Chain A
Amino acid sequence: MATLELLNVKKQFGSVTAVENFSLFVNDGEFVTLLGPSGCGKTTLLNIIAGLEEMTSGEVRMNQRVVNHLSPFERNVAMVFQNYALYPHMTVAENIGFSLKLRKRPRQEIMERVAQVARMLELEQLLDRLPRELSGGQQQRVAIGRAVIRQPDIFLFDEPFSNLDAALRIKTRGEVKLLHQKLGVTSIFVTHDQEEALSLSDKIAVMRQGHLEQFGTPEEIYSKPASKYVARFIGSPQMDIFEGQFEYSNNRYVYRIGSIALVLPHSITIPNKPIDMGIRSEFVKIGETGFPATVHLVQPVGPFTYITVYWEGGSATARVNGISHLKPGEVVQVEFASEALLFFDRESEKRIDLW
């Protein structure tokens, strides 16, 4: 069990800066996800935490102790790799027990602990198999077993689900979450999949080009994104963001997007700079009231249907429950839930509260 602290971590590869001024505090037992597109530096950061990569400057602390110069083993971290990195010439049992063998534990103890881990991960029948004789999901479990047996202070996961098919990914996701609930070990999880991040994490660190863009709970990240970048990166379908402008008409402030003008609450304070407005699809309502728009695209996905509508100067996607029978070309009434509107400074792209 451990807390983890990153202090101004910086990593350069030649002239390329992979991670810049990255600071983060992870509480004991927390499940934290590093989320970002490929190339944003999240795996580099994970390798730095693991001790597999040296940082250019900064500090990594575990339980308040600086561990910069400790080996991965001395840091007592365990890591699950993207391609599992199972030792191909060793059986499942040997793979799981390898770290204990290196520590010269007695054979009997190794066997017992391997059996215990195998029971927990339902690998008992597979202990004598070689990795190549296992399915992707089984290999994944062996990789987790190899990490669990170490009884590490911190678990590190490097996109561990990216080689699994969609159904297995969701199943394994659940297993990892259960494992975390059971063991309560501090975990750092790297992924580019926002759904994975939202569903697993206590907190999410959204990364962009080596920087920390936002660090917060999944709820904060989703409903109060710190910037346009986070807003767009989180949530599916992507948040609609409009480059409109404020106007004052009929004693009310409105936000104009092309031919439509959204009426804003009285309590609003209008800043003296260009502002973009964003809204998530579940707050775009299709019904009796609102402004007229034409249906452009209807995409049923099972529990919901995503309906993209357009009007002169803009378009937005609405999420409606169940299967919708709207057809492209139909004219519907669209309403934006004003309490869910998000505003962003066009210049800095940061979100600002206007009421």
Chain B
Amino acid sequence: MFYFKRAIGSLFIRLCLFVFVGVCLAPVLWGLVTSCLPQSALTSKVPDFNLRNFTLENYVLVLDSSRGLFLGLKNSFLVALFTSIVALTFGSAAGYALARLNVPKSNTILMMILATQMFPGIVIAIPLFLAMTQFNLIDTHVGLIIVYLSFILPIVVWIQKGFFESIPMDLEKSAAVDGASPLQTFQYIVLPVSLPTLFATGVFAFIESWNEFFFAIIMTRVNVKVSSIAIAEFSGQYQTLYGQMLASAVLASLPIVVLAILFRKFILEGFVEGAVKA
């Protein structure tokens, strides 16, 4: 009876996981299939998923540089790259300080950082827009990076603080006894030990920034059109080019997918290390 119950339980968990994976993958599959079908097959009353219609025409069309996808990808890349570099640099410095140095009122600071995460984007969108206008930062890379940092940096601070706390204090004491200056301790001990986590956090910041749409559409016009905006523009006033839109979406997802696959070991290691005390 016990084994039977356990088998049923295991079956149930598998079933749940199966459904979960299905729910996650279905839109991706739908997008992949759609990106390979001609507009005519998609705009008929009942979408025609017949594989006879299979075509790569959408990809050829969107890869035509005049369509702006390339420019979008380039902009997205620049913004995501600098967002993650700045977020990592300041986020880990702040995280280290909050975890290790006796910063006065560190708990208050941490709660304030956390509080910034409690407002939905829509609430801060208008004040941010006004501020950016004041500083002439609308439709600039710098402006978008600053806006992204406003919600990515706090998360990075928290992740890094959690991680630095998980490094045994004795490691740093030991380095001090061995004769390392604080800077050498950071260089030879803390930094190498933190690399997987820094990497994971960096990838996280990159993905967050790359996928962002809401602030991008508010804060940019023509100069800094990121890929998510470029994709959305396939939906026009008179028609929506579903095939091309999804072909662009697939192309825009590729860097993230590649990033995740290449560095999945680091990402998992990093997040696990951040979560569990050593």
Contact = CB atoms under 8 A, between A and B. Distances in A.
A97 to B, nearest CB: 10
B168 A102 contact: no
- Determine which residue in B168, B173, B175, B178 has the highest number of CB atoms from chain A within 10 A of its CB, and name it: B178
B192 interface: yes
A78 B188 CA distance: 19
B174 interface: yes
A266 interface: no
B43 to A, nearest CB: 57
B176 A85 contact: no
Interface size class of B (residues with CB under 8 A): 10 to 19
A78 B174 CA distance: 9
B165 to A, nearest CB: 15
A50 B168 CA distance: 18
Given A87-B171, A89-B192, A89-B193, A102 B176 contact: no
A144 B54 CA distance: 68
A72 B179 CA distance: 7
Majority DSSP secondary structure for residues of B touching A: helix
Contacts of A82: 170
A73 interface: yes
B109 interface: no
Interface in B185-212: 188-189, 192-193
B21 to A, nearest CB: 33
Contacts of B179: 72-73, 99, 102-103
- Determine which residue in B173, B174, B177 has the highest number of CB atoms from chain A within 10 A of its CB, and name it: B177
A72 B168 contact: no
A89 B170 CA distance: 15
Contacts of B168: 83, 85
Given A73-B179, A102-B184, A85 B193 contact: no
A73 B180 CA distance: 8
Nearest to A102: B179
B167 to A, nearest CB: 9
A71 B176 CA distance: 8
A79 B179 CA distance: 12
A77 interface: yes
B180 A50 contact: no
B192 A72 contact: no
Contacts of A79: 173-174, 177
Contacts of A52: 173, 176-177
Contact of B170 (A81, A98, A102, A146): A81
Contacts of B171: 85, 87
Interface of A: 47, 50, 52, 71-73, 77-79, 81-83, 85, 87-89, 98-99, 102-103, 146, 150
The 10 closest A-B pairs by CB, nearest first: A73-B179, A85-B170, A85-B174, A99-B178, A81-B170, A72-B177, A89-B192, A79-B177, A102-B179, A85-B171
